Chain A
Amino acid sequence: MLQINNLHCELEDDSEVKILKGLSLTINAGEVHAIMGPNGSGKSTLSYVLSGRDGYTVTDGSATLEGADLLEMEPEERAAAGLFLAFQYPVEIPGVGNMTFLRTAVNAQRKARGEEELSAGDFLKLVRAKAKELQIDADMLKRPVNVGFSGGEKKRNEILQMAMLEPKMCILDETDSGLDVDAMKLVSDGVNALRDAGRSFLVITHYQRLLNHIKPDVVHIMSEGRIIKTGGPELALEVEENGYADLLAEAAA
């Protein structure tokens, strides 16, 4: 599904600041991978580079989604190809209704893929059903995108977008940050409901806690722009117990 090879990147404005330094990662269809790592290891940057945010220059390496070169595509093309980033800090857009935003996004992707746009009626039915599962009420759908939403509401809204867009490759960037226990359960249930043999996930998190809810197949530890260790779910437990220090020392040795 997602294949990242020896990826290097630096800040566009300051080529002295190298962030990814030879990151490689392969996620097969249907797998859930988690990336953990200390602050500043480049986890969020990886999500931005994959989704096409400005501000970074890729200097080496490659990233492909089902064989297609992601790095050559505009952000909207990546989305239409099936990539989805659940933002760590979902953006507020005053003046754009949540429903309008969702319908515009769904239909733009369908159009880009040469599919027929959803009728207003079909769209409404679909969004209502999915919103209900995430306990998103009619008012949240009517309000401007993320404006005045609580932290939990914003994250639920991200998962609603994911459910509506049905991407193949979902990247969750610290989706657990700012969530209380109940909200984390709700969000995790939303993610788990989307788990599917044809859909893969990359879960970026600081804490093992989220991984109790969204059970990963593979756990990677990231430091200084590279994956330094890969293992099973037990690796996350090890981090939870001992912190990163031992792993970092081991990698440095």
Chain B
Amino acid sequence: MMPRAKLKAQKVEAAGALLAGRELPAGGAWITKARTAAAARVASMGLPSKRDEYWRYTDPRRLTAPAPEAAKLHVTDDEAPLFDGFDRLKLVFVDGVFDAQASDALALPGVEICTLADAARTDLHWARDLFGALEARGQAPVERSLASLNTAHATEGLLIRITATPPKPIALVYRRANLAGDAMVHHVIRVEGGAEATILENGPMAARFNQVTEVDIADGATLHHIRAQGRDHERAGITHLFAKLGAGAQLKSFTLSANGALVRNEAVIWLDGAEGSAHIAGATVGDGAFHHDDTVFVTHGAPRCESRQVFKKVLRHGAVGVFQGKILVDQIAQLTDGYQISQSLLLDEDAQFLAKPELEIYADDVKCSHGSTSGEIDHNQLFYLRARGVPEDRAKMLLVLAFLSEALEEIADPAYADDLRDRLESWFKRRS
């Protein structure tokens, strides 16, 4: 094994090489301060390496390489875009660049929205307390330097402040036009006390993407986050969701990942106030050259909070699924209710699921459980369905969708879950 100091030196050197000659984007005082601090974090942490314990199952080289690999554009005109049927505020990004022409006006009752580019030109902005701040907090106990890289260099994104429950969801729609787009997008979302909002994200961001979303959910506020990461096969990307929750605050985040050569979604959640609740869920379907990594870190930092992590992966033809999930319970966090389940359904012998569930508990009166399983389609269930006349393909699809449904059930509004379920059904039909 490589000595630590040598590995660190290599990582720092790689960061230096990547950033050499790259100037920080110009901006007002508040953002320049945040970017400068983030750039210093990248320089001192270095870039992630396959030799890092945290990157043991996923090779970060495609994410850290100086230039992205090209990724074919996937034509998806065989189905209407997801969430098209919903009344929503639609905000479009093309290859990670905000497209005002294609978007609705940045106006919604109860919501202040501004692009990162516009906010960066001002000297003072409400987001100054959050932008880069949650990302910086997320650097311990595990380093996530690609998120710092994003804070330092992202010029695109939205700053969304929800002061009162808006009448409709805010939908971020990602489209690709460039074969080798390299997107860096940074959103900040603050939900003020008592408000409840829904953020939808849909589509492939770019051939390569690095997305950071910093979320602050104030006391008694609720955020629903439903994300689907597109259908193109060759894309590579990493996303970080950093979210802190106040007392009685709720976060429900669900991600559907289909296809994608290399995608890692990290969620770093802090339950800072008593009786907060965070549900992080994901459904993943991979067929062929596919590597998907869900890495979740939930910290219970206050008493009587509840957290759930529900991740389901269906894999075949060499697809690889990774789950790293941790629940950390601070000493103060008595009466914590923590739950974590990660399961994979391997449709053939070539598929692979790697799971690392972890609990670290310092309080003495808590209820925490975790489970991880890997299996194939249940033959008894399959025969039962077939014996009732359901053809084999259809029976398998029913069982696969049933397997994924526990994750979909984490979505509060069944209308969104139904839309996603239809997409999953189509996904399997295209392959059967």
Contacts and interface: CB of A to CB of B under 8 A. Distances in A.
A42 interface: no
Contact of B402 (A76, A94, A165): A94
B363 interface: no
B185 to A, nearest CB: 34
Contacts of A251: none
A95 B401 contact: yes
Interface in B338-385: 379-381, 383-385
A90 B387 CA distance: 11
Contacts of A76: 386-387, 389-392, 395
Contact of B386 (A52, A87, A90, A93): A52
Contact of B389 (A96, A100, A105): A105
Contacts of B381: 91-93
B386 A96 contact: no
Contacts of A229: none
B127 to A, nearest CB: 41
B399 to A, nearest CB: 7
Contacts of B379: 54
A104 B394 contact: yes
Give the contact-size bracket for chain A: 20 to 34
A52 to B, nearest CB: 7
B390 to A, nearest CB: 5
A53 interface: yes
Nearest to A83: B387
B383 A75 contact: yes
A104 B106 CA distance: 45
Give the contact-size bracket for chain B: 20 to 34
Interface string A39-75: 0000000000001111000000000000000000011
Contacts of A51: 387
Interface in A93-147: 93-96, 100-101, 104-105, 108-109, 112, 144
B83 interface: no
B1 to A, nearest CB: 43
B406 interface: yes
A105 B388 contact: yes
Contacts of B417: none
Nearest to B388: A105
B121 to A, nearest CB: 50
Contacts of A93: 381, 384-385, 399, 402
B19 interface: no
A85 interface: yes
B254 to A, nearest CB: 16
Contacts of B387: 51-53, 75-76, 78-79, 85, 87
Contacts of A161: 388
B383 A96 contact: no
B345 to A, nearest CB: 11
A163 to B, nearest CB: 13
Given A96-B399, A108-B391, A108-B394, A91 B386 contact: no
A96 B380 CA distance: 14
B403 interface: yes
Contacts of A96: 398-399, 402
B405 interface: yes
A87 B384 contact: yes
A70 to B, nearest CB: 12
Contacts of B404: 95
B375 to A, nearest CB: 13
17 contacts: A51-B387, A52-B387, A54-B379, A75-B383, A76-B391, A76-B392, A78-B387, A79-B386, A87-B387, A93-B402, A95-B401, A101-B385, A104-B398, A105-B385, A108-B389, A108-B391, A109-B389
Interface of A: 51-54, 74-76, 78-80, 85, 87, 90-96, 100-101, 104-105, 108-109, 112, 144, 161, 165
Given A76-B386, A96-B399, A105-B385, 17 more contacts: A54-B383, A75-B386, A76-B395, A78-B387, A79-B388, A85-B387, A91-B381, A93-B399, A94-B406, A95-B401, A96-B398, A100-B398, A101-B385, A101-B398, A105-B389, A112-B389, A112-B391
